[in-house]
Amino acid sequence: MKDYIVSNAVCPSKHEARPSVLLVMPDAFHLGWRGSTRRILCVAGAFRALGFEVVLIAGKMTNREVQTAIDQDFPGMVIRTYHAGAYPGILDCSVLTRRGWRMLWKARGAEYYSATLSYGWASVLDVEWLLGTLVRYSIRPALVWGICGGRLEGAAASARLAERIHIPWVFELHDPPIGCGLGYNRTAICGEFERLLRISARQVVISESYRRKLIADFSLLPTNIDTIPITYEGGVLQLGCNKGGEFWSMVYAGSLDGSRSIKPLIRALAKAFALAPMAMKATTRLNLIGHGSGFVDARRCSKELGLQGNVMLHGSLAGSATIKLIERANALVALVTEDAVYQIPGKLYELMRTGKPIIALMPDCEARDILMQSGVGFVHHCDDSIDAIAMTLVKLWNDWLLGRASGKLDENYIKQFSSDHLPQKLQIILNGLNIQA
């Protein structure tokens, strides 16, 4: 039985083969091109700029057509396993059968269930077959780069690979692990997380605040853990706030679920209409793009407040359509919840580079500090009164009406988050590991 799907495969001679970096992220691009999985593209591009070949090792996706399109665009070879988790092969064929098998995991207790979800894919990975595939395509691995976005499977698989072929591996964390920092802590996951931190050659996180926490909690060597923020691609756009036009429009694009809610902004919008001239309600639009239960709450809230004509729910849109709405917007909206203080959404940098005012609801956290320093942030704490948020909305609307700027992007500050600087940041890690292309 065939165990792997290989895309973008090239068969150079052994004399032509360049050293390669194995990027390991089982759920790579399961959300398409959105979210922190775009980080993989940036990291892959940076390693290629440094002279390395790149191989992505991931699990299969539910939608094979989407998987094929994404894999063909990836700047390197893609090896996808035929298993999506620790499921028996005969049942690992659909979402429904996998869901049914997870019921048996749950019956064995919360610890077993959470641990199997977190790193079960890595535990059943056929390392020997994978290494045989690398040899067949003349891949010469120099480094394994394990990426974790909530689960530990990318790091656990990287540890197995690196141990087998005797090369170093780097543990990159996009988020604190579910079960050890996010949600209920689980003993098994906490233990595995600490083990992986100890045996990885180096660790990479996307926020300085989480770096400090890991150093304090696990007594890690500060010289072995690096902060490399999520980067945006291209240059600073400086689109600014569109002047004139029939409507003053705001855009929120992303998910709304769990504790992430747009309702405080909708309530503040109703309050702003009560404070400002009637023209504000007639000329204001809040565009909501994305998916999640929070959009149902947003529709209900806007209806209760009589704002159906002001709050526009677009659902999930293609990237090009979302970009058009953002380009035409006068202000953008960002949300960070109380349980995400160590996370900095990648989209925050994309929003800042537009130069548009950003209305943000977030706790005291690093994301708040970055946004304030950018020069375009109008930030409110999650507990701020609706009146305070409403006053910000009125100010921004008045600025639009009078044709004046509401903020000025600190271009030199935001440039440090460009992917153009990513190769230099990765080179520091390679130098510390004595790895050369």
What does the pLDDT look like over 17-50, one tens digit per residue?
A: 679 999 999 888 765 545 566 788 899 999 999 9
Amino acid 63: pLDDT: 65
320 in the same domain as 372: yes
- As a whole number of angstroms, the distance between CA 338 and CA 341 comes to 6
- CB neighbourhood size of 428 (10 A): 10
Q: Choose among 166, 228, 155: nearest CA to 195.
A: 155
385 in the same domain as 293: yes
Q: What is the band of 437 on the pLDDT scale with cuts at 50, 70, 90?
A: confident
- Tell whether 158 is covered by a domain: yes
298 in the same domain as 205: no
- As a whole number of angstroms, the distance between CA 287 and CA 326 comes to 9
Check if the beta carbon of residue 69 is closer than 8 Å to that of residue 34: no
- Tell whether 226 is covered by a domain: yes
- Tell whether 144 is covered by a domain: yes
Read off the pLDDT of each residue in 233-252 and give the average, rounded to a whole number.
79
Provide the whole-model pTM.
0.87
200 or 103, which is more confident: 200
Q: In the block, which residue shows the tokens 């490399």? A: 228
Q: In the block, which residue shows the tokens 């980067």? A: 231
Residue 75 contacts by C-beta under 8 Å, 6 or more apart in sequence? Answer: 41, 44, 45, 48, 54
- As a whole number of angstroms, the distance between CA 37 and CA 23 comes to 12
Q: What is the DSSP letter of 241?
A: P
Amino acid 10: pLDDT: 58
What does the pLDDT look like over 64-121, one tens digit per residue?
A: 666 677 777 788 999 988 888 888 877 777 778 888 888 889 999 999 999 999 999 9
Q: Kind and range of the H or E element at 5?
A: strand 4-7
Domain that holds residue 73: 4-231+419-432
- Tell whether 242 is covered by a domain: no
224 in the same domain as 252: no
Detail the DSSP E strand segments found in 151-205. Answer: 169-173, 202-205
Count how many domains the chain has: 2
- As a whole number of angstroms, the distance between CA 401 and CA 11 comes to 61
CA 47 centroid distance within chain: 19
56 in the same domain as 147: yes
- As a whole number of angstroms, the distance between CA 170 and CA 18 comes to 20
What does the pLDDT look like over 385-410, one tens digit per residue?
A: 899 999 999 999 999 999 888 989 99
Task: Identify the CATH number of the domain in which residue 340 sits.
Answer: 3.40.50.2000
